[in-house]
Chains A and B, each alone.
Chain A
């Protein structure tokens, strides 16, 4: 199996604890310069608040009329000579890609970075079908060699050190001198470039994702800094786009609005180095470009979000800012989330894609500090949406019995103010008795919490007591 994982988090808690104790990972997580670069880029764009509001409104408009825009998009793709494959789930999407690959006789498929491709486990499926997938984005190439899933939606190999990459290249690039120096990023990039170059020309199929799909023209827009997505789609005889149905915008000008926000929020650039709008296959007199153009449109749980406030999640333009600003992601990285999408956006998206039962820990893994919603360029209220999932988890009785018991107990108390006050006083007394120097390093029922933190002991009478002693009536 290559880098892909079947979406469905296994054991978030255990993986998170392991990640906290992994020194190499902690060092890698310390290298995150994205937040600072984003802050500079946003500061240089005084119109950011208006653009952000307009972007959110644009995406909401599309989602409210998504059926219509999808039909118009499909008609435009077909008018340009392309083919649209509508796919309910990961299996049907994989089947559609394999169908195209077999029909064009592809033995290898070059791939631009595609999170939708990761989501449907495309690499594993291609390999199983005897078609060799070659990731061309450097980060994706590195984790493909390592047989690992991405740990970040825009920097998939950010958990790897230079030494890790050098080790992988030594192990996999066997035709190179064993003792060559590989101790600089430039050398590693150059080696990857030379190894991957020939692949573009021999691949029978070039697969990319899409940052935006344009309804008026049936186009797929991709942005990259490496140019790998462009080589992938320009040199392969068949270009196949894998994209979620929520990528749609009405016109190219609408993509311009989102482009102003995407790179700034992601890497702090005003615009990525390459932005390409691809519309259909090569035309009659074109000297190059793909002879066929396919778009695999994926639902895979997205429509399940459209019935309530969680619809806002489908505004997401996959910039990664919420990951870069999340204190939880910043401590554990992307892998413990156990799915293609980690961090706050994954905590809302994955339960829809993988099922709430499998992902029930994810909406809980938040301090609700709100930074994710604050930096989101399309103003998705991520903590609110996690709260929606928490409600649903409780309603479906998917939360652990201990949680349910504790909540039931609290509810009982909360409805009986007298007991509640008594219990607060008792707890306050108990915690003060256990405290050393005003702090607790261990507390009953909260061992997991105090293992990594210090709990300040209550310092005086409760708020309620103070309120009443101020002469107020409850």
Chain B
């Protein structure tokens, strides 16, 4: 069987048999707990305020639009204002946000996975990473993945308290309740430089990424 053949070739080349129990146990410990991370300075922050500021600056440098919103009830009106006429057709919505009053803001929403003609979708991130200026989206019953990629405009709601410093922290937040089937970090609108190395936005995924930072933790 190929499995045994591949493992056999690896062992033959490394001039040993299967790992000794002690070595195997050491590898399994390595699998069970992450080693101390080597964090660059750009992933370390003096306080929440510096962390939040870095997230906002890096996210917008990546081409995303950012709005600060004081509390969840204000989210639908802010989304409606940001979308303008693009918000008129029915919008895709992560069921995780279905309890907000979208109708009051004049928006029609369809909770569930993305449908082909939806111009925009509104989803909820589990975390934001200040090191890279990315939002972290985890799949689940309340957060369909297709909403993140199909619509032209992707609106992401993110609780300010969910901002974290590093990539490691972002992954940690995403898997806090068990590893989701899919975790995606997104740092801006889709783009390509495949034609003569010219940067063009809107390659396959959303042309606009709008992030609503909810709550005023850390200013």
Using CB atoms and an 8 Å cutoff, list the residues of chain A in contact with chain B.
Answer: 28, 31-33, 44-47, 50-51, 54, 61, 64-72, 74, 86-88, 92, 136-139, 142, 155-158, 160-162, 165, 185-186, 188-190, 192-193, 196-197, 201, 215-217, 219, 225-228, 230-231, 234-235, 245, 250-254, 256-257, 259-260, 267, 270-283, 285-289, 297, 299, 303-304, 306-307, 311
Are B187 and A67 in contact, with the CB atoms below 8 A?
no
Q: Note all chain A residues with C-beta closer than 8 A to B203.
A: 138, 189, 192-193, 225-228
Least Cβ–Cβ distance between A137 and chain B, in angstroms: 7
The answer to whether B216 has its CB under 8 Å from any CB of chain A is no
Q: Are B171 and A273 closer than 8 Å at their CB atoms?
A: no
List 7 additional contacts besides A86-B3, A271-B132, A303-B9; criterion CB under 8 Å.
A225-B191, A226-B205, A228-B203, A260-B167, A277-B182, A279-B181, A286-B144
Contacts of B204 in A (CB 8 A): 136, 138, 193, 196-197, 226-228, 231
Size category of the binding interface on chain B: 35 or more
Please judge, given known A-B contacts A54-B38, A230-B148, A271-B187, whether A299 and B132 are in contact too, CB under 8 Å: no
Give Cα A219–Cα B183 distance, bound, in whole angstroms. Answer: 10
Mark out the residues of chain B between 177 and 218 whose CB falls within 8 Å of any chain A CB in the assembled complex.
Answer: 179-198, 200, 202-206
The answer, yes or no, to whether B99 is at the interface (CB within 8 Å) is: no
**Cβ of A227 and Cβ of B205 under 8 Å apart?**
yes
B167 near A273 with CB under 8 A, answer: no
Of B141, B149, B192, the contact of A138 (CB 8 Å cutoff): B192
Does A272 contact B187, Cβ atoms closer than 8 Å?
A: yes
On whether A288 and B3 interact (CB within 8 A), knowing A66-B10, A189-B192, A226-B192, the answer reads no
- The reply to whether B196 and A162 contact each other, CB–CB distance below 8 Å, is yes
Interface pair A253/B168, CB less than 8 Å apart? yes
Near A by CB (< 8 A), chain B positions 16-62 give 18-19, 23-24, 27-28, 30-32, 34-35, 37-38, 40-42, 58, 62
Q: Contacts A287-B113, A287-B141; is A273 near B189 (CB within 8 Å)?
A: yes
Residue of B nearest to A280 (CB): B181
Please indicate the chain A residues that have their CB under 8 angstroms from the CB of B116 in the complex.
Answer: 201
Which one of B10, B132, B150 has the highest number of Cβ atoms from chain A below 10 Å of its Cβ? B10
Contacts of B194 in A (CB 8 A): 137-139, 142, 155-158
Interface of B is mostly: loop
The reply to whether the CB of B109 lies closer than 8 angstroms to some CB of chain A is no
Pairwise interchain contact B184-A253, C-beta atoms closer than 8 A:
no
Q: Are B141 and A307 in contact (CB under 8 A)?
A: no
Q: Among B2, B35, B141, point to the contact of A285 (Cβ < 8 A).
A: B141
Q: Do the beta carbons of A68 and B27 come within 8 Å of each other?
A: yes
CB distance from B172 to the nearest CB of A (A): 8
Asked whether A188 lies within 8 Å of B181 as measured between CB atoms, the reply is no
Q: Which of B92-147 contact A (CB under 8 A)?
A: 95, 112-114, 116, 132-134, 139-141, 144-146
For A142, give the chain B residue with the smallest CB separation.
Answer: B194
8 Å CB contact of B10 from A67, A250, A278: A67
Interface centre among B31, B114, B116 (most CB of A within 10 A): B31
Top 8 A-B pairs, shortest CB-CB distance: A227-B205, A306-B13, A226-B203, A139-B194, A253-B34, A256-B167, A285-B141, A303-B9
Assuming A276-B182, A279-B182, is B10 touching A286 (CB within 8 A)? Answer: no
Determine if A67 and B19 form an interchain contact, defined as CB atoms under 8 angstroms apart.
yes
B38 and A47 form a contact (CB under 8 A): yes
Bound CA span A281–B180, Å: 11
Whether B197 pairs with A215 at a CB distance below 8 angstroms is no
- The answer to whether residues A256 and B166 also contact, given A45-B42, A68-B24, A245-B6 and a CB cut-off of 8 A, is yes
B71 is an interface residue with CB less than 8 A from chain A: no
Shortest distance from the beta carbon of B16 to any chain A beta carbon, whole Å: 9
Residues in B neighbouring A185, C-beta threshold 8 A: 195-196, 198, 200
Shortest Cβ distance from A187 into B: residue: B200
User: Given A69-B27, A234-B146, are A87 and B2 neighbors across the interface (CB < 8 Å)?
Assistant: yes
The answer to whether B202 touches A273, judged by C-beta atoms less than 8 angstroms apart, is: no
From 66 to 88 in chain B, residues with beta carbon under 8 angstroms from any chain A beta carbon are none
Q: Which of A138, A217, A227 is the one whose CB lies under 8 Å from B179?
A: A217
With a cutoff of 8 Å between Cβ atoms, the chain B residues found around residue A156 in the complex are 194
28 contacts between A and B (CB under 8 A): A31-B197, A45-B40, A47-B41, A67-B10, A67-B18, A68-B27, A87-B2, A142-B195, A158-B194, A162-B195, A196-B204, A216-B32, A228-B205, A230-B145, A235-B150, A252-B34, A252-B175, A253-B168, A256-B168, A272-B187, A273-B205, A285-B141, A287-B144, A288-B114, A289-B181, A299-B9, A304-B9, A311-B13
